[in-house]
Structure 1
Amino acid sequence: MEYLAKYITEDIKLSCYEDKFFKSDIMFDQHMLVWFLSGETRIVQADATYVFGKGDIFLIPRNQLATIINYPKDGHPHKTVVMHLSTERLRDFYAGKNINPGHFTSRKIYSFSNHPLLESCLASLIPYFEMKAIPEDIAALKIMEAISILRTLDKEIDDVLANFEEPGKINLSDYMEKNFMFNLPIEKFGYLTGRSLTTFKRDFKKAFAMTPQRWLTQKRLELAHYQLTQKKKRPLEVCYEVGFENLSHFSFAFKKQFGYAPSELLTRQ
């Protein structure tokens, strides 16, 4: 995979994937504002799937689990401008403002496609990627401008951007049943359910009577079998959607669990 990135600062980058395909399971530590220049992205969450392409602008809130699949399209690479809206920047922006955000529970991705103000703000960044260095205050001003525009476009966005709470302790069983298909370290699952690693493992064993890794593998294989037999999906597609890192590992684990390879289901069907 050929990946190229140009940075204005650590919070603003031009990202480019030249290859045919890139997939990653991610927990976003910061809010992320993305503007598409070319290519296509499929974002799969527990309860929704989004597809974005050229010209689209969207905001992914922090602490969200998602599978990200990036593709080139129409002969052009997957290319985006990405702006991280860090907690530190947002605290500076909201300092002195009388904002009392509500309890943020939404998991959705916010789309602002084809809006001239936001597109103009992000497009103005392009020339800076060709410069060797720019003053830090210029980058900060661009981020502040983007935040101001987002607040203009969505009056409820303060509930997202001005909320600085860390994940609290939540029902572990419910959360894992909804999010087992995301291939993240156990430590991340612990953080998102409001637990230390030790507490997470202890509570997990009480809830499921087995280790997290064994349970995750079993649940992913069960979902894969359903997708293959009932949804008639291809093994490569299913492999990444249910949380496996590559097709060979998926095929080995599937055959060990069910006694036949995923490809054999295609022949039977």
Structure 2
Amino acid sequence: MEYQAKYISEEIKLSCYEDKFFKSDVMFGQHMLIWFISGETKIVQADASYVFREGDIFLIPRNQLATILNYPKDGRPHQTVVMHLSTDRLREFYAPLDIKPKSRETSKIYHFNKHPLLSSCLSSLIPYFEMDNLPPTLASLKITEAINILRTVDPGIDQTLANFEEPGKIELTEYMEKNFMFNLPLEKFSYLTGRSLSTFKRDFVKVFHTSPQRWLTQKRLELAHYQFTEKKKRPVDVCYETGFENLSHFSHAFKKHFGYGPTELLSRPNGNAV
């Protein structure tokens, strides 16, 4: 896979995947404003999925779990401009403003279609990626411009951008049942549930009576089986949407657990086990 990235600053980059699709399970530590130049992205969250294409603009809030599937399309690479809205940057922006968010951070992805103000702001960055020795104030000005436009387009976005709370300790069962399909290090799960890694592991065993890794693998395989029998999805799609990293490993684990492989299951009448 050919991947290239050009930076105006650490917070603004031009990202390009040239030859084939790229998949990752991620936790967004910063808000990300993304403008699509070409290609296609599917974002799968616990309770929603999204598809974004050329011209789309969207904001992904921080501290969210998601599976990201990036595809080239129509002979063109997957190419995006990505602007990171860091907590430090947003604290500085909101410091003189009297805004007190009333709600906790949302898992909602904000979709702005092809809004002309945001399109103009983000497309104006393209020439800068070919230039050397840009003054550092330039990136700062463009980020401030983007934040101001976001607040103009959606005044309610302050509830997300001005919320600087870190995850607090939450009930483990509901969170893990909702997010088990994301293949992230246990350190990420522990952070998002408001625990140290050692406390997370100890609490997990108390609640689920098994280790986190064993439980996660079983839950992902059970979800995969459901996706085959009820949704009739392709093995490659099920593999990547249930937390596995490659089709070969997924097929082996599936057959070891159920006694038959995905292809065998799908070839049966009605796709059901016997």
What is the TM-score with the length of structure 1 in the denominator?
A: 0.98
For residue 4 of structure 1, report the CA deviation from its aligned partner.
0.6
Give the equivalent residue in structure 2 for 1:160.
160
CA distance in structure 2 between the aligned counterparts of 1:150 and 1:133, rounded to whole angstroms: 28
Instruction: Structure 1: give runs of 5+ residues left out of the alignment.
Output: none
Give the equivalent residue in structure 2 for 1:65.
65
Paired residues, number: 269
CA distance in structure 1 between the aligned counterparts of 2:61 and 2:154, rounded to whole angstroms: 14
Cα contact 2:12–2:81 (8 A) shared by 1:
yes
Q: Does 1:148 align with 2:148?
A: yes
Per-residue CA distance 1:20-74 (angstroms, 9 max, x = gap): 2110000000000000000000000000000000000000000000000001111
Per-residue CA distance 1:204-263 (angstroms, 9 max, x = gap): 001100000000000000000111111111111100000001111111111110111111
CA distance in structure 1 between the aligned counterparts of 2:61 and 2:21, rounded to whole angstroms: 24
Per-residue CA distance 1:80-100 (angstroms, 9 max, x = gap): 000000011101111111111
Give the equivalent residue in structure 1 for 2:193.
193
CA distance in structure 2 between the aligned counterparts of 1:117 and 1:103, rounded to whole angstroms: 27
Give the equivalent residue in structure 2 for 1:38.
38
For residue 113 of structure 1, report the CA deviation from its aligned partner.
1.6
AA of the residue aligned to 2:115: H
AA of the residue aligned to 1:6: K
Cα contact 2:105–2:159 (8 A) shared by 1:
no
Cα contact 1:38–1:80 (8 A) shared by 2:
yes
AA of the residue aligned to 1:68: I
CA distance in structure 2 between the aligned counterparts of 1:208 and 1:198, rounded to whole angstroms: 15
Cα contact 2:105–2:163 (8 A) shared by 1:
no
For residue 126 of structure 1, report the CA deviation from its aligned partner.
0.5
Give the equivalent residue in structure 2 for 1:18.
18
For residue 103 of structure 1, report the CA deviation from its aligned partner.
2.2
Question: How many percent of aligned residue pairs carry the same amino acid?
Answer: 75
Runs of 4+ in 1 over 6 A off after TM superposition: none
Cα contact 1:8–1:128 (8 A) shared by 2:
yes
Per-residue CA distance 1:98-154 (angstroms, 9 max, x = gap): 111112242110011211111111011000000122111010000000000000011
Q: CA RMSD in A?
A: 0.8
Instruction: Structure 2: give runs of 5+ residues left out of the alignment.
Output: 270-274
Give the equivalent residue in structure 1 for 2:210.
210
Where do 1:55-204 residues align within 5 Å?
55-204=55-204
For residue 202 of structure 1, report the CA deviation from its aligned partner.
0.7
CA distance in structure 2 between the aligned counterparts of 1:177 and 1:83, rounded to whole angstroms: 31
AA of the residue aligned to 1:229: T
Give the equivalent residue in structure 1 for 2:272.
none
CA distance in structure 2 between the aligned counterparts of 1:133 and 1:251, rounded to whole angstroms: 50
CA distance in structure 2 between the aligned counterparts of 1:119 and 1:233, rounded to whole angstroms: 35
What is the TM-score with the length of structure 2 in the denominator?
A: 0.97
Where do 1:228-267 residues align within 5 Å?
228-267=228-267
Matched residue SS, 1:164: coil
CA distance in structure 1 between the aligned counterparts of 2:228 and 2:99, rounded to whole angstroms: 48
CA distance in structure 2 between the aligned counterparts of 1:236 and 1:120, rounded to whole angstroms: 37
